[in-house]
Amino acid sequence: MSGNPEDQELDKQVEQWKIKKLIKNLEAARGNGTSMISLIIRPGDQITKVSKMLAEEFGTASNIKSRVNRLSVLGAITSTQQRLKLYNRVPDNGLVIYCGTIVTSEGKEKKVNIDIEPFKPINTSLYLCDNKFHTAPLGELLESDEKFGFIVVDGNGALFGVLCGSTRTVLHKITVDLPKKHGRGGQSALRFARLRLEKRHNYVRKVSELATQFYITNDKVNVNGLIIAGSADFKNDLNTSDMFDQRLRDKVLKIVDVSYGGDNGFNQAIELSAEVLTNVKFVQEKKLICQFFDEIAQDTGKVCFGVADTIKALDLGAVSTLIVWEALEITRYAIKLPHEEKEKVLYLTKEQERDQSFMKDKETGMEYDLVEALPLVEWFANNYRAFGAHLEFITNRSQEGSQFCKGFGGIGGLLRYKLDLAQLNDYDNIEDDTDDFHEQVCPSIVINNTTSTTSTTTTSTKSTTENKKNQKNINQQQQQLNNITLNNSNKKITNATPVTSRRETRGA
């Protein structure tokens, strides 16, 4: 991992994505009986202590009556013990091990043996034998440490929300109908004014009570900070009111003025609080995608999007930041013909995968051998360093993220320099056309070269009779060339003789 703090943060995000994907796969796994072991060791625990516990569990499992289940459990415990022997001590952030036999979707049994060193300390100890893996402690690691509360209040109602990482949650909404200011009423004008102030007072009290209900749990504030947003004076009235809990007032980070109420006001409050929420992924995601959109609007040529153009830009080393939707459903297939070493790479969607015709060569009709099939997102997570790029995962929860996923296919990149990908594609097409031209205009040259190569190579796949015929044709062609060369040389000699005689005559 790089020593640069920014690179470390990006690497941490990639690790979080890998953990999230692993959790999803483990949660879907099921086994027969209780042969799936979940073992979580906290930092500071002793390996010898855990090994002793596993030995005791092995003895207990030997008494299981069901022979099949007994053997499965004993095998899982043995695998866990062997995996534990790879460590001399518990890693700084703890250790998580999952071992067992799962049943695949095809009904076949498959052994799973996974050990994980978490990206941050895990404060849970766990040992369970069950028909599923227990991943809740791992899921807790993915939760952002920072949670911010939002109160959006105006003359029409109030909204209470929470922003945690890239997740924006609306907790509660209320609506009110407050009387407006007016100059009518005559002798009752003062009474109307008092009624208006009373309703505003009751409204502020209601908002204060709900804020205490949602943002204080067990007499403790459950958010890292609080943002109060709204139009007119309601936000200031709430912050200065004696009815507003002092513990919440101490957590107020910023008071922002928004033009809307409700959900739109919530989104605007998040944007206006970006300076305060610099470490929240939601804001970072919006900022990154807005930068992507700005490059497109200014037509700088320093962006790419779509699978084909992004892969080409990566191969050229032009991508500085690779932006990928974390739920992108595209699979990378590496295939090759049995007698060839060169691989062919395809990027297919779920619908394209259903049509298995891509596994057959159109020209020869031969079946391709599958070298590798991997989700494209996972392939990026494993190989992004090789292209010198930073990898950023985004969601479709924000408005900008949803637009990026729907409009640009969920994959794109910011480039280091201007790159005309359309011109590169045209150049590739010209090269392909040139290859086709050579194959059509000069077929004999290609055949002769191929034949001479195959005839002199010991690994030729042609039969010996064909080689003899081809060799005979080559000898005949070579003989014809020799005859032509000999005739040309004779003509030159005969033409040179009269010239010499003329010179001698002139000299005489």
Pair 151, 251 in one domain: yes
The answer as to whether 367 is a domain residue is yes
- Beta-sheet pairing, 252-257 with 303-305: unpaired
**Beta-sheet pairing, 147-154 with 126-130:** unpaired
Whether 491 is in a domain gets the answer: no
CATH of the domain at 326: 3.30.1330.30
What's the structural domain count of the chain?
A: 3
Statement to judge: residues 91 and 210 lie in one domain: no
Q: Is residue 232 classed exposed, middle or buried when 0-12, 13-18 and 19+ CB atoms within 10 A define those classes?
A: exposed
Contact 261, 152 (CB under 8 A): yes
424, 446, 476 - which closes a domain: 424
Give 169: exposed, middle or buried? Use CB within 10 Å, 0-12, 13-18, 19+: exposed
Region for 301 from its dihedrals, namely left if φ exceeds 0, alpha if ψ lies in -120 to 50, beta otherwise: left
Q: 133 and 237: one domain?
A: no
Give the domain range for residue 115.
Answer: 27-140
Rg (CA), the chain: 37
DSSP labels, 329-350: -EEEEEEE-TT----EEEEEEH
Residue 501 is encoded by which pair of tokens? Answer: 């005689």
Does residue 334 sit in the same domain as residue 253?
A: no
Clarify whether residues 378 and 333 are in a common domain.
Answer: yes
In a domain, 36, yes or no: yes
One domain, residues 156 and 274: yes
The torsion angle over the Cα atoms of residues 353, 376, 141 and 123, rounded to 10 degrees, is 90
187 located within any domain: no
Q: What is the pLDDT along the chain (508 residues), one digit of tens a residue?
A: 455 656 666 677 788 888 888 888 898 888 877 889 999 999 989 999 999 999 999 999 888 888 888 888 899 999 999 999 999 999 988 999 999 888 887 888 888 899 988 888 888 889 999 889 999 888 888 776 678 999 999 888 999 999 987 778 899 999 988 777 665 656 666 777 788 788 888 999 999 999 999 999 999 999 989 999 998 788 898 999 999 999 999 999 999 999 888 899 999 999 898 878 876 777 888 889 999 999 999 999 999 999 999 999 999 999 999 999 988 999 999 998 888 888 889 999 988 888 888 888 888 888 888 899 999 999 999 999 999 999 999 988 888 889 999 999 999 999 999 988 777 766 555 544 444 434 443 333 333 333 333 333 333 334 445 555 555 555 665 565 555 445 544 444 444 434 343 333 344 3
Are 239 and 121 in a shared domain?
no
| CATH label of the domain that carries residue 60 | 3.30.960.10
The last residue of one of the domains, among 384, 409, 424, is 424
Q: How far apart are CA 96 and CA 37, in angstroms?
A: 11
Residue at a domain's end among 389, 424, 459: 424
Residue 99 and residue 157 in one domain = no
Same domain, 326 and 355: yes
In a domain, 477, yes or no: no
CATH code for the domain in which residue 255 is found: 3.30.420.60
Residue 80 forms part of a structural domain: yes
Q: Are residues 247 and 356 in the same domain?
A: no
Position 8 in a domain: no
Q: Give the whole-angstrom CA distance, residue 255 versus residue 341.
A: 64
Same domain? 115 vs 218: no
Q: Which one-letter amino acid corresponds to residue 16?
A: Q
Residues 97 and 219 in one domain: no
Report how far Cα 485 is from the mean position of its chain's Cα atoms. 66
Question: Does a structural domain hold residue 86?
Answer: yes
